[in-house]
Chain A
Amino acid sequence: MSTNLLRIGCGAGFAGDRWDAAVPVVEALAAAGGPAVLMFETLAERTLALAQLRRRQQPDAGWEPTLDRFVRPVLARCVAAGIPIVGNFGAANPVGAAAVVQGLARELGLGPLRVAVVEGDDLLATLTPDQWAEVLPAGLRGRELVSANAYLGAQEIAAALRAGAQVVVTGRVADPALALGPLIAHFGWAEDDWDRLAAGTMVGHLLECGAQVTGGYFADPGVKDVPDLARVGFPIAEVAADGRCVITKPAGTGGCVTRRTVIEQLLYEIHDPAAYLTPDVVADLTLAEVHEEAADRVALSGVRGHARPPTLKATLCHEGGWLAEGEISYDGAGAAARARLGGDVVAERVRLLGLPVQALRRDLIGVASVFADDAGRWVAPAAQEAEDVRLRVAGATPDRASAEALAREVMALYTCGPAGGGGVRTSVTPRLASDSCYVPRAWLRPGWRFVP
């Protein structure tokens, strides 16, 4: 193929993704021979707040703890083939993550690498009290924030790659920037070349959730069949200088790339398709076209762009009390009625004990659960006589002790509840609540630097 293509592979679409997924992607990129980049997306809304909590306890922590598991299988091959790695696994501590990458490189005999970090997303370290007063949502005034991070764009990633970075570690950046940065570096797109920036943003958007564009989150047996899902191949985009791309996947892997898988991912979480807001550009899909070129090769074209927004979105996390959960199974005749009674008993016990439960939810798994809202306002059309039912009780409490007291009430259904209940599991978890705000660009000074 022409060298005027950049191939971008994706090795992870979230922190919980498969550790071995990147291996065939890197093999395919290396075999193709042209310029290529590998990206990892491992930073969900909540992941960063959890990382910030870890960093509070241990100042050199706060990066994605599974970073080593994602990068170890492919680092030597990427270095040998000249494939830079771009990942947001820096989370709350990109410099700490860079140190992990350097340590791994030494261990693998690769010597020190040119590892760059992108910084400047942390608003807690940046904004003045006056600025906070201007942007903080009313409901968060007076609360202590655990984390506050703006979504940075692609320019710092691009600058680091142009300077020769072999690995770029970021904290919070817009997920598509992990691909757009390498495209800007490779093709030299201008900061106001809105159509190309939008096209590159949608390349990143298609890649950022990993297998979600290659047959993951898609299979529906008998309706949407996906071959060999256990070996689903992660995506590779072949991007041309004008921003048009072909989505494909490594030969010999499972899954599929079709018009259907690509359209599902193209529309995923974008809200208004005429105005998909990112830090780098406002992307417009109203004239976008998706064509199957060949088996497992689907082209996207026609993406247009408009000037980027004047503000950057930021996610704010604060402590959100505790979540208590308990489950118990009922089977056979009358199972649904017994499960319902068990839920009623727990609710009554909460009242009798005066537990400070702020919200209590009951699910009858097998009858009605995830379609319902927390108030239980959903009536399953059938299944009222289901005979294999799991009661789940979930409650929000202000503190750990009351969460444990609530979980204990589910446990007590063993002997004090309806007949034949079994298989109790309980857990209590601290919660982080999140909100968002928009910050003027000029308040932030994003930057990048090499970390030895």
Chain B
Amino acid sequence: MTRIALHELAHARTGDKGNRSCISLIAYDPAHWPLLVAQVTEARVAELFAHRRPTTVRRYLLPRLQAMNFVLDDVLDGGVNGALNLDAHGKALSSLLLTLVVDPADVAGPPP
């Protein structure tokens, strides 16, 4: 089956506090929620952001909102007052998360 980027299934927003990035991921369609839970794991997000050397990656689930929050520690080169990045807040990192590739055929949803 076709593997697709998360951008087609979900939207996201990045915020920051100090050297910590907080990225939400929200399913467009509640039907895709099980797929996101199964495939957008802490391990896969840690791998996607490996070049930023996160010390921890935590995922918090909000099933009623079909949304999850990722909290990545120490990924902002010191944060808004320390990083040399043009985007010192890491605002663009939600777009990086949405490049993650998922396979819609792998998890069609929980069994009825």
Contact = CB atoms under 8 A, between A and B. Distances in A.
Interface of A: 45-46, 217-218, 220, 223-224, 260, 263-274, 285-290, 302, 317, 320, 323, 359-361, 363, 365, 369-374, 377-378, 392, 394-396, 431-436
B84 A264 contact: no
Counting chain A CB atoms within 10 Å of each CB, the highest count among B12, B15, B71 belongs to: B15
Given A268-B24, A273-B62, A434 B81 contact: yes
Given A267-B13, A370-B92, A378-B51, A431 B62 contact: no
A223 to B, nearest CB: 7
B111 to A, nearest CB: 25
B26 to A, nearest CB: 5
Contact of B26 (A220, A264, A289, A394): A264
Band of interface residues on B: 35 or more
B42 interface: no
Contacts of A269: 15-17, 22
Contacts of A378: 51
Contacts of B93: 371
Given A223-B7, A290-B65, A434-B81, A272 B51 contact: no
B84 A361 contact: yes
Interface of B is mostly: mixed
24 contacts: A46-B80, A220-B11, A263-B26, A264-B11, A267-B24, A268-B15, A268-B22, A270-B15, A270-B69, A271-B20, A271-B71, A272-B69, A273-B69, A274-B60, A361-B84, A370-B92, A371-B92, A373-B53, A373-B85, A377-B52, A378-B51, A394-B86, A433-B78, A433-B82
B96 interface: yes
Interface of B: 7, 11-13, 15-18, 20, 22, 24, 26, 28, 51-53, 58, 60, 62, 64-65, 67, 69, 71, 75, 77-87, 92-93, 95-96
Contacts of A434: 18, 79, 81-82
